[in-house]
């Protein structure tokens, strides 16, 4: 029987090195108590933020020291929890850490409202009197920019304290989907029993046996049907939370509030959705090529993950993936390439799936730790691309930490998804140009097309769904599982107009954790658009392109995201990068059709 191993069965070399944060849980407890005891020191500055330039500098330095330690405490507990969501001890540690972070944010919540009492003239005087404050100029600009949406110190403290409670819908969904739900075991065509999991579901949908794919699809979504009321309630309340918080901060909509955080114009969102909707013909062509490749009269939803080659594709071991990725990022410079290679050997990555492990993949870490990448590696091309993706995030963090002080080392997701997708795009170019095996190259081309489909189109579809459900809540409408099914099913039917969209796929919204992240997913789509433009510039011989890109990564959060991407040579305020990316998608579809002899019938 093919089954998911326990964590104890996986070799240490394939697990991330959390001991580099704290050598033991006891050390974590000591750090927790130390930080908890220092939080009241912040409160001593309440009412005194603008007392003098010297006092302001003292406060900002104290806040940095404290919050850096808080982030380490939170990071360790969160990563331990992700290793095995069934482990109640680490769930308790994470809950304690989240409470600590909430307490720290609540205690510091007076800082920005008091800063906003300064006029621009008074702030200029502070900067002239205390030159060390100039390091915080962008931070001050951001704080003053959001003055119309900042409440009194008392309200800000309350909102900060509610943060832990407000995360309940997402927390409940995460525990349900990762720890409590058990998916069926099915027999594959080889006679083996295979346990369906969140981690292997899409891989099973790439199996060449169509009847097996249908069985996996039906069994998986039937399991979700049994918890539809719980998941529907969680998502409904997550949306309500977003709306209530936006109202509390005097925004007209939750979307406006979410995008104002990183200072991204709402027009960027509408521009993305509109441009992608106007170009659904590319996606329909991709689906039609799949139908021809499979030799079927009607494409079904359980066929959508299938390769254009009609089979699962070659295995790619973790060791092979590492080698390919290191070579692929060479155009970004020797220092970047060496950093990737070192990270892969220094236990940045938690490689394989184990029972209870959080599904999906992510890159994490703090200003004072190494990066940590969670994978559920499946020995396939898709997993290799995911590893390249997460390494893009990790290198982004490393370059930003190298160049920026703590307050600017973090960056918005809007920029982050560019860094990850640049790596994917470079990997595609490298493999297509350097691997001689035609079958392997065909699968690489197919995988990149899938990345376009799932990133540019699928995430835009998600963004459309997310905006619709928030709008319904804002207008006083009811959000129920049936309503979610209806909205999502309609979108799926529009985006995949030439496939048979069944009732089960209308439940797909239930398995998407990103819907709890408050207008997050659109940034995947803008990210791939910007990434394609950056890579084209690098590979077309622009001598400054790679340096400009590294400079943009190193900016971290010291500039607004639109400005950061302008440094890399991309204007995301225009539709041009999206249109350009869609055109590249179309070119690759043509290449695949020629390579696989799938020309129009």
Paired strand residues for 373: 349, 363
Catalytic residue among 83, 114, 390, 474: 390
Q: What count of other Cβ atoms lies within 10 Å of the Cβ of residue 282?
A: 18
Dihedral sign for Cα atoms in the order 440, 445, 446, 452: positive
Paired strand residues for 195: 185
Instruction: Confirm if 269 and 578 have CB atoms less than 8 A apart.
Output: no
Q: What is the gyration radius of the CA atoms in the chain, in angstroms?
A: 24
Distance CA 228, CA 240 (A): 18
> Per-residue DSSP letters for 380-405?
SHHHHHHHHHHHHHHHHHHHHHHHS-
Nearest to 318 by CA among 391, 213, 370: 391
Distance CA 47, CA 41 (A): 13
Length of the chain in terms of residues written: 601
Mapping DSSP to helix (H, G, I), strand (E, B) and coil, where does residue 98 land?
helix
Instruction: Confirm if 397 and 419 have CB atoms less than 8 A apart.
Output: no
Mapping DSSP to helix (H, G, I), strand (E, B) and coil, where does residue 299 land?
strand
Catalytic (active site) residue 390? yes
Q: What count of other Cβ atoms lies within 10 Å of the Cβ of residue 81?
A: 22
Phi-psi region of 476 (alpha: psi -120 to 50; beta: other; left: phi over 0): left
3-state secondary structure 13-70: HHCCCHHHCCCCHHHHHHHHHHHHHHHHHHHCCCCCCCCCHHHHHHHHHHHHHHHHHH
Nearest to 41 by CA among 72, 63, 74: 63
Which of the residues are catalytic? 390
């Amino acid at each position: 029987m093919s089954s998911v191993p326990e964590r104890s069965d996986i070799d240490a070399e394939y697990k991330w090195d959390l001991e580099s944060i704290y050598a033991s849980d006891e050390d974590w407890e000591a750090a927790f108590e130390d930080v908890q005891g220092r939080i009241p020191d912040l409160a001593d500055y309440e009412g005194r933020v603008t007392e003098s330039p010297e006092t302001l500098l003292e406060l900002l330095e104290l806040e940095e020291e404290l919050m850096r330690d808080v982030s380490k405490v939170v990071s360790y507990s969160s990563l331990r929890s992700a290793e095995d969501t069934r482990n109640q001890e680490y769930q308790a540690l994470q809950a304690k850490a989240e409470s600590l972070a909430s307490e720290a944010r609540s205690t510091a919540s007076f800082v920005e409202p008091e800063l906003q009492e300064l006029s621009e003239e008074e702030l200029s005087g502070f900067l002239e009197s205390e030159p060390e404050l100039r390091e915080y100029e962008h931070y001050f600009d951001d704080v003053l920019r959001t003055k119309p949406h900042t409440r009194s110190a008392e309200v800000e403290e309350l909102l900060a304290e509610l943060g832990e409670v407000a995360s309940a819908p997402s927390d409940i969904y995460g525990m349900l989907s990762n720890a409590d739900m058990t998916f069926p075991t099915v027999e594959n065509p080889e006679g083996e029993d295979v346990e369906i999991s969140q981690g292997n579901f899409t891989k099973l949908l790439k199996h060449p046996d169509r009847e097996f794919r249908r069985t996996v699809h039906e069994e998986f979504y039937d399991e979700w049907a049994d918890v539809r009321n719980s998941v529907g309630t969680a998502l409904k309340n997550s949306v309500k939370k977003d709306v209530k918080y936006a109202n509390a901060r005097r925004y007209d909509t939750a979307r406006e509030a979410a995008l104002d955080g990183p200072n991204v114009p709402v027009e960027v969102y509408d521009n993305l959705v509109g441009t992608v909707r106007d170009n659904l013909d590319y996606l329909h062509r991709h689906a039609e090529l799949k139908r021809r490749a499979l030799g079927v009269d009607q494409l079904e939803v359980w066929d959508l993950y299938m390769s254009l080659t009609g089979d699962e594709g070659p295995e790619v071991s973790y060791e092979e993936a590492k080698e390919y990725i290191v070579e692929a990022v060479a155009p970004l410079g020797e220092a970047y390439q060496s950093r990737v290679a070192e990270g892969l050997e220094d236990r940045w990555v938690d490689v394989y799936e184990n029972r209870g492990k959080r599904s999906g993949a992510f890159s994490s870490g703090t200003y004072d730790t190494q990066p940590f990448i969670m994978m559920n590696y499946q020995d396939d091309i898709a997993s290799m691309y995911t590893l390249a993706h997460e390494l893009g995030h990790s290198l982004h963090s490393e370059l930003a930490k190298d160049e920026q002080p703590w307050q600017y080392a973090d960056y918005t997701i809007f920029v982050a998804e560019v860094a990850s997708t640049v790596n994917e795009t470079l990997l595609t170019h490298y493999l297509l140009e350097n691997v001689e095996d035609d079958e392997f190259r065909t699968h690489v081309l197919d995988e990149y097309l899938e990345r376009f489909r799932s990133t540019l189109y699928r995430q835009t579809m998600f963004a459309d769904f997310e905006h619709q459900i928030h709008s319904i809540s804002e207008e006083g409408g009811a959000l129920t599982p049936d309503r979610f099914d209806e909205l999502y099913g309609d979108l799926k039917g529009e985006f995949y107009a030439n496939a048979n969209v069944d009732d089960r796929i209308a439940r797909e919204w239930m398995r998407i954790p990103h819907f709890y992240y408050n207008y997050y997913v659109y940034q995947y789509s803008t990210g791939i658009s910007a990434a394609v433009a950056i890579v084209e510039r690098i590979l077309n011989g622009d001598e400054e392109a790679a340096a400009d890109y590294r400079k943009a990564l190193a900016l971290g959060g010291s500039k607004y995201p639109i400005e950061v991407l302008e440094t890399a040579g991309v204007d995301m305020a225009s539709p041009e990068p999206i249109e350009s990316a869609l055109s590249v998608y179309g070119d690759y579809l043509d290449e695949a059709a020629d390579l696989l002899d799938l020309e129009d019938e």
